[in-house]
Amino acid sequence: MNKEQKKDFETKCVHAGMGEYEFGSVVPPIYQTSTFKFKSAQHGAALFAGEEKGYIYTRMLNPTVEALENCIAELEGGYKGLGCASGMAAVHTVFGSLTQAGDHVVCSTAVYGPTTTLLNSIMKKYGVETTFVDTSNTELVRSAIKPNTKVVYVETPGNPTLAISDLKEISKIAHANNAIMVVDNTFMSPALQSPIEFGADIVLHSLTKFLNGHADVVGGIIVVKDEETYKHFRKTLNQLGGVIDPFNSFLVHRGIKTLSIRMQKHCENAIVVAEYLEKHPLIKKVFYPGLKSHPQYELAKKQQKGSGGMITFELEGGFEAGQVLMNSVKLCQLAVSLGGVESLIQHPASMTHFSMGREARMAAEISDGLVRLSVGIENVNDIVKDLEQALEKVNELQSKEVEHSL
Ligand SMILES: *Cc1c(COP(=O)(O)O)cnc(C)c1O
């Protein structure tokens, strides 16, 4: 670890990626420009030839975007970041950079729904084959590896089941087979998990979630560990074109200043909510890495600095009960996405993971009765009270049904 990396994380959140700006501006200005003037024909030629450093065109690099990229690279302990238009643009850029026809990918079954769809549609069409396995079982990863496996792609905690995969062990398996270990770290953010420390080669995020934290930006980022990879990825991103814009970069960079305290509050609230739900008679099962009942509770403690703000639970009464609950909450808002200051609730089978198809969902253990809750930073008693009154509605419905059948 170098000196920079040792800086306390809270301090890094406030200062990472910051530089010296015109007029003594304390924060990076928003360079809302598509292109940059050259001082002369020679200067322009030198920039294109890479003989001089500078900005040419915003799709290639923009100072406001670069400030954000440097910030997140520092938080993840990587070399450089690449800002993308969305988390999915980041996922696509990763596979576009690393794979070609004939290559094989091993991917977690419990990943963000559109990631599964991307691998099963566009990447498949390009000749890249994927094996999906439950990466929380390390042995399944080992047996899925083929001679042509190029990428091992892991999301931990998984979406939406919150299964934890052993980053250190899986990195070893990937590297023993010359494959590249990619981790989607969206659910944890760099505040709670540092995949590079456990051997990951590439880390990506949907900035839309915890990193921005305010539900007002769509964005993504890729963090790489060395210059060669960075240059290669930058070329791919420039060709695919899915870059983040300066204004959104500014907003995300602003959001990151409070990342550390927001994540602390998400964790504090989520454990209270998870424990409340676990005791509730109408709830069959709660998935939260901070609960002792979580199958990888010990691994989560070892690998994560906190349990995060995401909870998944299964109601007695399945899908119908879930719909009553979602229609009855008042403080928690019925919406997809996660990681913002506000609590959000949604139903994976009919919403975020609908595009996977039922068969793939069942294989990934995403049952029809599963509800996903992104616990915000509101007062936790208000969140619990809201769930309590909504669960009371579910209870009323079920008592009526019992009466009816008598
Ligand atoms: C939301 C999300 C993505 C995709 O990000 P977008 O910004 O919506 O494109 C990828 N991975 C995970 C884990 C996510 O939650």
Please indicate, yes or no, whether residues 115 and 222 belong to a single structural domain of this protein: yes
Residues in the chain: 406
Triad 400, 330, 157: Cα angle to 5°: 95
Atom index in ligand 1 nearest the CA of residue 88 equals 9
- Helix, strand and coil percent figures for the chain, each rounded to 5: 45, 15, 40
Domain boundary among the residues 233, 256, 279 is at: 256
Residue from 12, 80, 150, 209 carrying the catalytic annotation = 209
Q: Which range has the top average pLDDT, 252-261, 354-363, 392-401?
A: 252-261
Query: What's the CA gap between 86 and 93, in Å, rounded?
Result: 11
- Are 234 and 264 found together in one domain? no
CATH number at residue 44: 3.40.640.10
Q: Are residues 282 and 204 in the same domain?
A: no
Q: Tell me if 3 is assigned to some domain.
A: no
Q: How far is the CA of 21 from the centre of ligand 1 (A)?
A: 32
Sign of the CA dihedral running 99, 102, 108, 109: positive
pLDDT tier at 355, thresholds 50, 70, 90: confident
Q: How far is the CA of 406 from the centre of ligand 1 (A)?
A: 46
Kindly report which listed range (40-44, 76-80, 153-157, 365-369) carries the lowest average pLDDT score.
365-369
pLDDT at 171: 98
Tokens of 176: 């023993």
Same domain, 96 and 230: yes
Same domain, 43 and 186: yes
Return the pLDDT at 398: 81
Find the residues whose C-beta lies inside 6 A of ligand 1.
86-88, 112, 155, 159, 184, 186-187, 206, 208-209, 218, 220
Q: Which structural domain, as residue segments, surrounds residue 194? A: 9-256
CA–CA distance from 166 to each of 195, 223, 252 (Å)? 10, 20, 29
The count of domains in the chain is 2
* Domain identity same for 187 and 328: no
Sign of CA dihedral 322, 324, 330, 335: positive
- How many whole angstroms separate alpha carbon 213 and alpha carbon 53? 33
Residue nearest to atom 12 of ligand 1 (CA): 112
What burial class does residue 273 get, using C-beta atoms within 10 Å of its C-beta: 0-12 exposed, 13-18 middle, 19+ buried?
Answer: buried
Asked whether the whole model's pTM tops 0.75, one would answer: yes
| Active-site hit among 166, 184, 201, 386 | 184
- Give tens-digit pLDDT for 195-225: 999 999 999 999 999 999 999 999 999 999 9
How far apart are alpha carbons 351 and 157 in whole angstroms? 19
Average pLDDT, the chain: 94
Residue at 30: amino acid letter: I
| Domain final residue, candidates 208, 241, 256 | 256
User: Which residue, of 230, 256, 282, is where some domain finishes?
Assistant: 256
Query: Is residue 2, in this structure, part of any structural domain at all?
Result: no
Residue 225: C-alpha distances to residues 177, 203, 246, 277, 346 (Å): 19, 9, 24, 40, 35
Query: Is 89 found in the same domain as 210?
Result: yes
Write the CATH number for 274.
Answer: 3.90.1150.10
Q: Is 115 a member of any domain?
A: yes
Q: What is the pLDDT of residues 260-288, one digit of tens each?
A: 999 999 999 999 999 999 999 999 999 99
- Is 209 among the catalytic positions? yes
Distances (CA, A) of 61 to 66, 158, 244, 321: 7, 32, 10, 49
- Same domain flag for 153 and 50: yes
Same domain assignment for residues 283 and 237: no
Q: Tell me whether residue 364 is in a domain.
A: yes
What is the average pLDDT across 167-179? 98
Over residues 222-232, the mean pLDDT reads 98
Asked if 248 and 282 sit in the same domain, the reply is: no
Set 31, 112, 153, 288: catalytic member: 112
Shared domain check, 174 and 69? yes
pLDDT at 142 over 90: yes
Same domain, 315 and 350: yes
Predicted confidence at residue 211, as pLDDT, reads 98
Residue of 94, 112, 244 to mutate, ligand 1, most atoms within 8 A of C-beta? 112
Active site residue 201: no
Split at pLDDT 50, 70, 90, the class of 1 is very low
Provide the 10 A C-beta neighbour count for residue 44. 16
- Residue minimizing CA distance to atom 7 of ligand 1: 87
**In terms of Cα–Cα distance, which of 353, 351, 371, 374 is closest to 362?**
353
